[in-house]
Amino acid sequence: MKQFYKSLYLQQRFFLVVFSLVGLFVLGYFFENLYETVKLLFYLFLILIVLDTVLLYRNKTGINATRILPEKLSNGDVNIIEIELVNRYKFISSLKIIDELPIQWQIRNFKIEAVLKPGQTRKFNYEVRPTERGEYHFGNLNIYSSTPLGLLARKQVFDSEAMVPNYPSFLQLKKYDFIAFSNKLKLFGLKKIRRIGHTMEFEQIKEYTTGDDVRNLNWKATAKRNELMVNQFQDEKSQPVYCIIDKGRVMKMPFNHLSLLDYAINATLVMSNIALKKQDKAGMFTFSRKVEDRVIAQRRSSQMNLILETLYNVTTDFSESDFSRLYIDIKRSVKQRSLMLLFTNFETLDSLHRQLAYLQAINKTHLLVVIFFENTELKEFATKSAASTEEIFEKTIAEKFLYEKKLIVNELHKYGIHTILTAPEDLTVNTINKYLEIKARGLI
């Protein structure tokens, strides 16, 4: 009986009827000829309540509901959650679906309204966009069903306490895995770059096409075929490619609700997959006060799963990053010349100059690419027209910071360090482009 009362809820229509009856009773008090009519309506109302209750609880099953969750969520992407409903009643049922979403989303007004015919099965989808890695706990799936009378509602609870882990963006990984090896690269901002350098590993003799290195002309084959022929060489393979993630406090700045650290983590996952597909060795590590989360660059079937699990557990300690420890660790542990993709952030020239000596030292033995971020909010603010003296000053300061970012790029180029200055949302595409360019030019 206690459970029955807990599951029974009064609908808005119930209160409208009650208020109407109260009003009629008041009128009946003053007009005796209305009293009997009001009394009759009251008894009719009681009969309807009993009928509504019987209809709702006669069928023990009522509504069947299932929340269909993915095995894991993809961080920073739109994920689909599905709810399947089956109407076991013999009448058309009006439903309210209230799903208790994880606390990270802070959504307290989630509701879906629907109408199901007798015996009908229907699926409802809703979109969520997680922006923090970790565990997401779903609460109860609450279904409120009512009859065509609409006086009462029956509450049923399904799928309580479901947990889904939120991993780095594997949806982005799948997307770029497809487009990087298709003919649609340019549609997504990826550039196919003709190889400039080559290794000494001979592959074949082919007809000359515009852009081929004329130094590779094969004169004997040209004489035999009476057309220009060139020697083609294979790309160098199995080169170590390391993604290095700065997880200090400078990477906690959020853009579009996602931190720079998570943008770097998502790009690392995609970049590692591309490197493995290109027959290179993929590895990674993170650093702040010390180097952590190390995955040695290898090319094996389990490498991507190892990188994914390692990235899932990366957290920041909000400390100042120690580039000297990074340099010492790389010198001690990475003996083979490697491509180092360093995800960090510099806001001023002074912050760069404090670390420049260590970046130069790393670049002497490895090919270093420093990847840091544009402040897109400042850029948007700087493009707006100023309407007051105060806004002119603010706009000037914003432009100064943007200009300083360009000075940082020039400073790194001056010392022969490759650089990517990118908007956070373009990080993955620009990183892949740089990798393809380096491979095409044979720089490593």
Residue 183: pLDDT over 50: no
In angstroms, the CA 81 to CA 75 distance is: 14
pLDDT at 383 over 60: yes
Q: Are the beta carbons of 167 and 268 closer than 8 angstroms?
A: no
Q: How confident is the model at residue 22, as a pLDDT? A: 64
Amino acid at 93: S
Each residue's pLDDT tens digit, 28-81: 566 666 666 767 777 777 778 888 888 888 888 889 999 999 999 999 999 999
Q: What pLDDT shows up at residue 48? A: 80
Q: What is the CA radius of gyration of the chain?
A: 32
Task: For 93-224, list the strands marked E by DSSP.
Answer: 93-99, 112-116, 121-128, 134-138, 141-146, 152-158, 162-167, 202-207
Residue in this structure with the two tokens 């482009």, named with its chain if needed? 433
d(CA 341, CA 364): 15
Q: What is the pLDDT of residues 222-251, one digit of tens each?
A: 888 888 888 876 555 678 999 999 999 889
Residue 111, both tokens: 């509701």
The tens digit of pLDDT for each residue in 110-142 reads: 899 989 999 999 999 999 999 999 999 999 999
Q: Which of 332, 315, 148 is nearest to 245 (CA)?
A: 315
Residue 311 and residue 283 in contact, taking contact as beta carbons nearer than 8 Å = no
- Beta-carbon count within 10 A of 23 CB: 11
Q: What's the CA gap between 275 and 273, in Å, rounded?
A: 5
Question: In this model, does residue 317 exceed pLDDT 90?
Answer: no
pTM of the model: 0.78
| Burial profile 325-334: b = 16 or more Cβ within 10 angstroms, e = fewer | ebbebbeeeb
- For 324, the 3-state DSSP assignment is helix
DSSP character for 221? H
Say if residue 15 is exposed, middle or buried (CB neighbours under 10 Å; 0-12, 13-18, 19+): exposed
197-211, 287-301, 349-363, range with the lowest pLDDT: 197-211
3-state SS class at 153: strand
> Going edge to edge, which strands form the sheet with 291-298?
291-298, 281-287, 240-246, 339-343, 367-373, 418-422
- Average pLDDT of every residue of the chain: 84
Predicted local distance difference test score (pLDDT) of residue 52: 80
Q: Which residues of 60-86 are buried (b: 16+ CB within 10 A; e: fewer)?
A: eebbebebebeebbbbbbebebebebe
How far apart are the C-alpha atoms of 168 and 311, rounded to whole Å?
Answer: 7
Q: How confident is the model at residue 370 (pLDDT cuts 50, 70, 90)?
A: very high
Q: Cα separation of 316 and 173, whole Å?
A: 23
Task: Tell me, rounded to whole angstroms, the distance of Cα 261 from its chain centroid.
Answer: 12
Per-residue pLDDT at 381: 72
Instruction: Output the six-digit token pair for 66.
Output: 């299932």
Amino acid 247: pLDDT? 92
Total Cβ atoms within 10 A of residue 165: 12
Cα distance between residue 417 and residue 412, in whole Å: 5
- The predicted pLDDT at position 15 comes to 62
Q: Is the pLDDT of residue 360 over 90?
A: yes
Sign of the Cα torsion 371, 400, 251, 79 reads negative
Domains of the chain by range and CATH? Answer: 1-167 (2.60.40.10), 170-195+235-441 (3.40.50.410), 204-229 (no CATH)
Q: Fill in the amino acid letter for 305.
A: N
pLDDT digits (tens, 9 = 90+) for 254-271: 888 899 999 999 999 999
Q: Which amino acid is at 35?
A: Y
pLDDT in tens, 90-102: 899 999 999 999 9
Band (pLDDT 50/70/90 cuts) for residue 6 is low
pLDDT at 210 over 60: yes
Residue 434 makes CB contacts below 8 A (sequence gap 6+) with: 341, 369, 371, 418, 420
